[in-house]
Every structure is written in structure tokens, then in C-alpha cells.
Chain A
Amino acid sequence: MTRRDWALVILLGLLAAVPPLAALLHEPFYLDLLRRVMIFAIAAVSLNLILGYGGLVSFGHAAYLGIGAYAVGILAHYGIHNGWLQWGLAIGVSALVALAIGAISVRTSGIYFIMITLAFTQMLYYLGISMAEYGGDDGMRVPVRSQFSGLIDLNDGTAFYYLVLAILAASIYLVHRVVHSRFGRVLQAARSNEARTRAIGFSPYPYRLTAFVISGAMCGIAGALLVNHTAYLTPEFMNWTRSGELMFMVILGGIATSSGPLLGAAALLLLEDVLQGWSLLPREAVRDHWQLYLGVILLLVVLFAKRGLAGLLPGKNE
């Protein structure tokens, strides 16, 4: 293992130490906040696979967050609370939709790809709004959490926390394995030089499409976790700004690094939390307009700090 990998393991270890600490300090709020951070980190990890390693600038990743959430929410709406079924559907439908969107969009590149992924996500967003049966614009409550035949109880905050942590660790490991496999090598080769990749006999399309589907399915799990976390479902999960935030998490943390998405998700969501509760500035001004600060930070990071937070970790850059 490299020093970078150790840094990541230590990071995950720290996250594992949070529940006992939070219990000790009587601050259950942090459990909630970090669970949210980790759920978005899973989504960012999945996006990093195609954005970082595949070079596919998908501006529509929030779609799968929404699909995962709707799959769980719709089954729960009809009284089906079986988690295996709910999460299986979340993964399956996310993968299918990713296959459909990917089949069309991966054929294109550059600006086209960005606009098409954005447009399709917007389509799903409007679909969510127009489904009056499932709350339409307002969304709906999903009061009963997924049930896993008594194996794990998601109503137990700590158990849910560790489940999210385990899924996060698993998805980071999965992406690591995918990236370092033959498949991942081809994917990265196509990112750095498509013409040469073709010249040595690989057509990038099936590789990119497969990565797109894996990434979508993984993000679907994050969606299923998110709806269990919030106990609420709204089309806003698929809002295009959400897609932009996911991309920002990946860039902020460090594109095409294994710890980047986690660092980025943590930085962005903790920053949001701090800005909204900052006592130094007039609270109203900051809380109401924290997106202004976010915008400025985003602009500055993109213009001046491309290596991201992972670039600050010890060890060589990948």
C-alpha cells in the first residue's frame, strides 16, 4: 500500500471512531451530519469513476441519486418495506436508466456529452415533479425505513451509520479495483488519448458505457441510503444544482484520487454547515446567501487549485 492508501485507511478509521465519541460528548448531531457526508461521498465516489478515470464529464449524476430514492420511496408507498427488494430495485433501475442514457450520450463527447447528461437529468426531474401520485413537486414522506429481515435496524442511528461507512469503504475499494484492472486501464487510456487507444485495438465505447452503468448503479445505492437518511423524498434530489455539487465534491477533493470524493464531500457539506451557522458575520446574511460564498469558493478552486484537497495528503500524486 502507498502512503496515500494509508491516509485513506486512517480517514475511514477516524470516521469509524465518531459514534462512540459522539455518544460520549452527547452530540448525536454529528452522527447525522457525517452520515450525510458519507452518503454523498458514495455518490461522489461513483461519479469519480467516470469523471476522474473515464474523463466523462457527466452533469447529470444526481439523476441516479433520485432514481435510487424513488425506487425505495415508491415501494414503501405501496407498503413494501423489504430492504433487499427496495435496494435491489434501486440498483437495478439506476443501472437500466444509466444504460439508456449512456447508450445515447457516451457516443458523443465534449460539450455534447455535458449538455445531454444535463438534459436527461432535467427530464427525470420534471418526471418526478409530474408524478402527483408520489407527491409531485412537494415530494413525500417515507416514514418507514428499509427493513432487512432483522439483520440490521436502520432506525438505530449507530447501526445505520456503520452500514453507510461499510458501503462507502466497499465502494471506494470497488472503484480502486476497477480502476486498476485491465478494464480500468483501457478506460484511463481512452481518457488520456482516444486516438492511440483506438490504434492499439480498443474501441472506447463499450468500456465507457460499462463504467457509466457501474457508476449509475453505485449512485443508486447512495440514493437509497439518502432517502432512508432523510425519511423524505423530493424531486430536488435530482435538481441540476445537485449534479453540479457532486462534480464540485470530486474536483474539490481531488479528481481521479481514491480519497478525493470523500474529502470533497466532507469539505463541501461541513463548509455548508459552518457557513449556515457562522456567528462572526450577521447570521441572516450568511445563512440566507451561503450559496454566494460557495460560488466564490468554487470559482477560486477551479481557477487556482486544480489538485484538490487530496493533493495536500502525504505521498506522491497519482
Chain B
Amino acid sequence: MNLVLITEQTLNGLQLGVMLFLMAAGLTLVFGIMNLVNLAHGALYMVGAYLTTYFFQATGSYVLAVVLGLAGTLAVGVVTELIALRTLYERDHLDQVLATFGLILIFNELIAILWGRAALYSSIPEYLSGHVQLTETLRYPLYRLTIIGIGLSVAVLLWYVVTRTRIGMLIRAGASNRTMVAALGVNIRLLYTIVFGFGAALAGLAGLLSGPIYAVQPGMGELILIQVFVVIVIGGIGSIRGAFAGALIVGMVDTLGRAFLKPMLATVISPTAADLAGPAIASMLIYLLMAGVLAFRPAGLFPAAR
């Protein structure tokens, strides 16, 4: 194992981590404030990826496609909230899980009807392709660096909005006592819709960024959704800070595990056994990590203050 490879994989882990954070931030806010289990969050990720891919092909302008994709996902999110999810806030978790599971099926099939089941080719603009010479021996894709940059900027922006602005104050207040916030004259329904739309846009952002790296196809959202659940369980529900820490931990562990577990095992056990066990254990690593965290910190690493 050389240093270049380790640095490269660490950057990959960071990139997966910020992607997970974009998803987890929206989901954890919705959990924390509306007490809603939204399985359809992954569907919004998919919608973001599809809309941006479509608009990029249609208009030829990446910036315009990103703007339209984000606005489109936000609109889809808000409409979904108004039509279906709004009635679910007062229901129990079982109803929420089943109804949003139904929404996933609907979204996946609608996408399949519109664009087909085959994976869509999603390209990146000329100026974001290519590599950056980080050190003499390490060249890293510019696009992945861009994702890391955007992800970290969004994290800082979120921190600023939640802790330093009036809307952030309302969000925090809504999370700790919604009845009281409503009694103080805040339109809590509107706040819910804003938060949901905001979370949807973040999911759309994650989706459109990941499009060119992973496959754009129906059901793409669910694969990442379950990883995001792991992130939230590790970080603690309702906590943005927890989501950030959890996302980076999960991104790193997953990426480094897949890259280095097999060669590391091979030094301990026979190479053939490592060939068999390595990938199996690597794919289970984040779940085992989650079990470990839960055993010692049942409320996650950074539980939201109540």
C-alpha cells in the first residue's frame, strides 16, 4: 500500500461522505422537526439526478440544468408534501413508512415510464472533467474535488442558517417544541413546507452531483437511502452536526474498507480466503459499525439536545 493510493481513497471517502451528508441533512431535519419517517427522500435524490441529466441534454448548459434540476426537485418535494405527506405528520410511524414506501414505488415507476428502466448516461461539462495534479504522483478527478467543495460549503452554509438566522431559530424551536412555536404565532405549517422543500432540494443536489459518478436509473435513491439511515443512526436523529460526523465516518469506513480490507486480510489469512471474506466483510462494515455505535451510544454520537 502506498501513500498515493491511501490519499486517493481518503479523498474518495470524503467525497462519498459529503454526498451522504447532503442526503442526511434534509432527512434528519424532517425527522427532527416533523417527526416524519420519509422513505421517499431517496426518490427526490433520483428526481434531482434525472431532471438535471434531462435539462443538460436539452439545453446544453450545465449551470442552467443544475438550476432547473434543483428548482424542479424542490417543486416536486413541495407538491408531495402538500398532497400526501402533510396528512401523515400526525400518524404513527407505521403509516408513515408504508405511505412513503408507496410513494417510492410510484416515483420509481413514473421515472421508468418517462425515461425507461435502463441507466441514463449522465455527462459532466468540459470544464469540470479532467484531473488536478495534487502532488507529483497524485492526479485526482476535478469533478470529485468539486463535489467535496460543494458539500463542505453546504455544510458551512447550513450551520450558519441553522444557528445564526431567524429561520434557523424557528427550525430549532420547531424541533424542540412545535406546539409552543405554533402558540407564539409562527405559521408552523408553512415552516414544515419550507423545511421539507429545503431538504428535497438538498437531496436533489446530492442526486444531480452523483449522477455522473453512479448510475442514473430508477431505484438509485434507495441504495443510498439505506446508507443514509446508517449515517443518521450513527450521528443521532435530528442533529445536523451528527449527520455531518456520521456521514464522514460512514463514507470513509465504506470506501477504505472496500479498498483496503482485502489486501489487509491477505496478510493475516490465506489470499484465497481473503478473496472470499474481504468483499463480504467490506460490504457489511458500515452496518457492523452501526451496531457497535448503538451498543455503546444508543442515541447516536451527537444526539440532538431535547
Which residues from chain A sit less than 8 Å from chain B, CB to CB? Answer: 51, 57, 59, 104, 107-108, 110-112, 114-116, 118-120, 122-123, 126-127, 129-133, 240, 244, 247-248, 251, 255, 288-289, 291-292, 294-299, 302-303, 306
Contacts and interface: CB of A to CB of B under 8 A. Distances in A.
B98 A247 contact: yes
A299 B103 contact: yes
Interface centre among B109, B294, B298 (most CB of A within 10 A): B109
Contacts, number: 114
B280 interface: yes
Q: How large is the interface on B (under 10, 10 to 19, 20 to 34, 35 or more residues)?
A: 35 or more
Interface centre among A111, A127, A244, A298 (most CB of B within 10 A): A111
B106 A110 contact: no
A258 B290 CA distance: 35
Contact of B283 (A126, A132, A294): A126
Interface string B83-98: 0100100000111011
Contacts of B290: 116, 119
Contacts of A114: 37, 93, 97
A79 B90 CA distance: 54
> DSSP class of A's interface residues: helix, strand, loop or mixed?
helix
B110 interface: yes
Contacts of B93: 57, 110-111, 114
B184 interface: no
A119 B280 contact: no
A255 B99 CA distance: 15
> DSSP class of B's interface residues: helix, strand, loop or mixed?
helix
Contacts of A306: 95
Contacts of B284: 123, 126-127
B258 to A, nearest CB: 11
Contact of A240 (B84, B113, B226): B226
A215 to B, nearest CB: 16
B56 interface: no
Interface stretch (B197-205, B209-217, B227-235): B227-235
B230 A57 contact: no
Contacts of A255: 94
A99 B276 CA distance: 26
Contacts of B276: 132-133
B226 A244 contact: no
B298 A291 contact: no
A167 B152 CA distance: 55
B97 A295 contact: no
A233 to B, nearest CB: 17
Given A123-B287, A255-B94, 6 more contacts: A114-B93, A116-B233, A118-B226, A294-B102, A295-B102, A298-B99
Contacts of A126: 283-284
B237 A291 contact: no
